[in-house]
Amino acid sequence: MPRKTDARARAIATAERLFRIQGFAATGLTQIIAESGSPKGSFYFHFPRGKTQLAEETIDLYLANRAAVFRQISANTTGDAPTFFKQIFGAIAAEMIADDYQYGCLMQNLANELSTLDAGLTERLARGFVDLCDIIAEHLRGCGFAPTLASSSAAALLAAIEGGRTIARVERAPAVFEALADVFCRRWPAPAG
């Protein structure tokens, strides 16, 4: 019976960390293989299409994890848009504090670099943003937002998160997320009735 290893999972985790810290282009396969501790042969067994396949699988896992966080926050704040906004921004701020402001958003980093270079990865990223917007919009509809307002508010929330990450990373402080939570709670309070 073949021995099971975690080389594949280690490679994906290492790629996510490096893509979030230094970007896609600056991260070479040699570095990923070395830092993950994966044997080169094992790496190409798991990722025969190389860095592109690794990026696809890293995006998929990152999105699944991000969606799970958003769904959990949604479940904890049913019908309560202001608390949902506070918890979303609070979760992102806590994550950035925990990683000492080193990590950007994987999707934002890759989208900035790959939008003109790799149509397949760009399409995957675009679908990911749509999926996250859908989770947020569904929650906001459950809070009484009209469908159009729920969709536009979801898009604004994601844009604010991405911009907030950039500012927090440069300032090395979470204050921007507190400001964003305040603005969202004032602009989009729970609908009356």
Q: Cα separation of 15 and 59, whole Å?
A: 10
Tens digit of pLDDT for each residue in 72-96?
Answer: 999 999 999 999 999 999 999 999 9
Note the pLDDT of residue 193: 47
Sorting pLDDT into bands at 50, 70 and 90, what band is 170? Answer: very high
Q: Cα separation of 136 and 159, whole Å?
A: 12
pLDDT higher than threshold 90 for residue 41: no
Note the pLDDT of residue 114: 81
Alpha-carbon distances, residue 114 vs 19, 25, 110, 123, 136 (angstroms): 12, 9, 6, 10, 25
> Which pTM value belongs to this model?
0.89
